[in-house]
């Protein structure tokens, strides 16, 4: 188990570098992170997009463009096509979103022509580090699925478990987040949480639900409310009921709590590094590291 994002970087330096395709790579913060990850030995980048602009930005960042593979693309659609074609012949390992719109990128990822689409659900998984909690915490899904049903929440959870397995977690504590601990027909999320907790999960996975956020993060709160669970105060992964909950909670950790993060899309044949344009180069670097660990793990299976 790792407790912070610096340890994630250390892990990602180990093993062979993975081939990362950056779609529409002409972005300063993205290239800053890619250059750092390259020098750390994590990745062999393939940069797709406006060749002139990509070279210019690499030079501005103090590196030599001739050290990088750069494939030309005249527009965003072409960037996606050129980048994803690499996967058809096994010439790339995972994907990173650059300046391209998420909708354009995912439209092409889901095109069966490239062989990246799987039967399962695509979902967004975040890892957060913040001062008030003693270890990393995962959150899903605050980025893709708006109001998932029970079956989709199961797939969201399975995707997130794979992220934690790729980081070497044998034991994973999962909280199915709601506003209260007692199931109520007036709060459908509590009914789903109860059902999810009753499901059979892989060895080492401990679940709790319905469970509120305070009980997930604070053992004392759980003692006061007499909520007895190994997950209380020791949660590794929060599964949220709707995208609004996940989005607000994640941004609160970042902008109110001063947290740092890494993000990934799971459910395709390869991990997809998808970060906000507002994210720092550091967040993008952590996300590249996370994608590298997942890609490396999936190749071993």
Sorting pLDDT into bands at 50, 70 and 90, what band is 257? very high
pLDDT for 275 beyond 70: yes
Q: Does 130 reside within a domain?
A: yes
Residue 96: burial class (beta carbons within 10 Å; 0-12, 13-18, 19+):
buried
Tell me which residue range forms the domain holding 98: 5-118+268-300
Q: Does 92 reside within a domain?
A: yes
pLDDT digits (tens, 9 = 90+) for 29-38: 999 999 999 9
Q: Are residues 64 and 182 in the same domain?
A: no
pLDDT digits (tens, 9 = 90+) for 197-256: 999 999 999 999 999 999 999 999 999 999 999 999 999 999 999 999 999 999 999 999
Above pLDDT 70, what percent of the chain? 100
Average pLDDT in the chain: 95
3-state SS, the chain, equals: CCCCHHHHHHHHCCCCCEEEEEECCCCHHHHHHHHHHHHCCCEEEEEEECHHHHHHHHHHCCCCHHHCEEEECCCHHHHHHHHHHHHHCCCCCEEEECCCCHHHHHHHHCCHHHCCCCCCCCEEEEEEECCCCCCCEEEECCCCCCCCCHHHHHHHHHHHHHHHHHCCCCCEEEEEECCCCCCECCEHHHHHHHHHHHCCCCCCEEEEEEECHHHHHCHHHHHHCCCCCCCCCCCCEEECCCHHHHHHHHHHHHHCCCCEEEEEEECCCCCEECCCCCCCHHHHHHHHHHHHHHHHHHHHC
Q: Are residues 162 and 195 in the same domain?
A: yes
Residue 49, token pair as written in the block: 């997009």
User: What was the pLDDT predicted at 300?
Assistant: 75
Q: Does 260 reside within a domain?
A: no
Q: Does 31 reside within a domain?
A: yes
Q: Does 263 reside within a domain?
A: no
Q: Does 262 reside within a domain?
A: no
Assign residue 159 the CATH number of its domain. 3.40.718.10
Q: Are residues 63 and 149 in the same domain?
A: no
Q: Are 287 and 265 in contact (CB under 8 A)?
A: no
Sorting pLDDT into bands at 50, 70 and 90, what band is 276? confident
Q: Are residues 194 and 280 in the same domain?
A: no
Q: Are residues 167 and 195 in the same domain?
A: yes
Q: Are residues 177 and 281 in the same domain?
A: no
Above pLDDT 90, what percent of the chain? 90
Q: Are residues 19 and 63 in the same domain?
A: yes
pLDDT for 124 beyond 90: yes
Residue 182, token pair as written in the block: 């007692």
Q: Are residues 114 and 127 in the same domain?
A: no
**Average of pLDDT values for 157-176?**
97
pLDDT digits (tens, 9 = 90+) for 22-67: 999 999 999 999 999 999 999 999 999 999 999 999 999 999 999 9
User: What was the pLDDT predicted at 301?
Assistant: 61
- The count of structural domains within the chain is 2
Q: Are residues 106 and 129 in the same domain?
A: no
Q: Does 108 reside within a domain?
A: yes
Q: Are residues 113 and 72 in the same domain?
A: yes
Q: Are residues 193 and 99 in the same domain?
A: no
Q: What is the pTM of this model?
A: 0.95
Residue 71, token pair as written in the block: 């494939």
Q: Does 261 reside within a domain?
A: no
Q: Are residues 221 and 131 in the same domain?
A: yes
Assign residue 86 the CATH number of its domain. 3.40.50.10950
CA nearest to 31, candidates 51, 10, 8: 51
Sign of CA dihedral 147, 149, 152, 154: positive
């Amino acid at each position: 188990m790792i407790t912070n994002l610096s340890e994630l970087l250390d892990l990602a330096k180990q093993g062979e570098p993975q081939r990362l395709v950056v779609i529409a790579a002409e972005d300063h913060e993205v290239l800053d992170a890619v250059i750092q990850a390259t020098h750390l030995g994590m990745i062999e980048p393939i940069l797709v997009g406006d060749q002139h602009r990509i070279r210019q930005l690499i030079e501005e960042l103090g590196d030599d463009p001739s050290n990088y593979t750069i494939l030309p693309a005249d527009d965003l659609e072409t960037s996606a096509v050129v980048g994803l074609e690499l996967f058809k012949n096994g010439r790339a390992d995972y994907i990173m979103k650059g300046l391209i719109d998420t909708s354009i990128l995912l439209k092409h990822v889901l095109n069966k022509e490239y062989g990246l689409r799987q039967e399962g659900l695509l979902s967004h998984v975040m890892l957060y580090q913040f001062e008030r909690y003693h270890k990393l915490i995962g959150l899903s899904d605050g980025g893709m699925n708006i109001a998932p049903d029970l079956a989709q929440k199961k797939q969201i959870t399975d995707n997130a478990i794979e992220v934690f397995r790729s980081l070497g977690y044998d034991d994973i504590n999962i909280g199915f987040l709601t506003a209260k601990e007692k199931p109520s027909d007036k709060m459908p999320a509590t009914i789903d949480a109860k059902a999810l907790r009753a499901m059979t999960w892989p060895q080492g996975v401990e679940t709790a639900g319905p469970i509120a956020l305070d009980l997930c993060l604070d053992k004392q709160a759980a003692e006061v409310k007499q909520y007895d669970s190994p997950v209380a105060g020791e949660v590794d992964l929060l599964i949220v009921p709707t995208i609004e909950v996940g989005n607000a909670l994640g941004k609160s950790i970042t902008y109110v709590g001063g947290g740092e993060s890494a993000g990934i899309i799971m459910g395709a044949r390869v991990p997809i590094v998808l970060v906000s344009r507002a994210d720092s180069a550091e967040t993008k670097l952590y996300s590249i590291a996370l994608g590298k660990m997942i890609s490396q793990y999936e190749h071993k299976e």
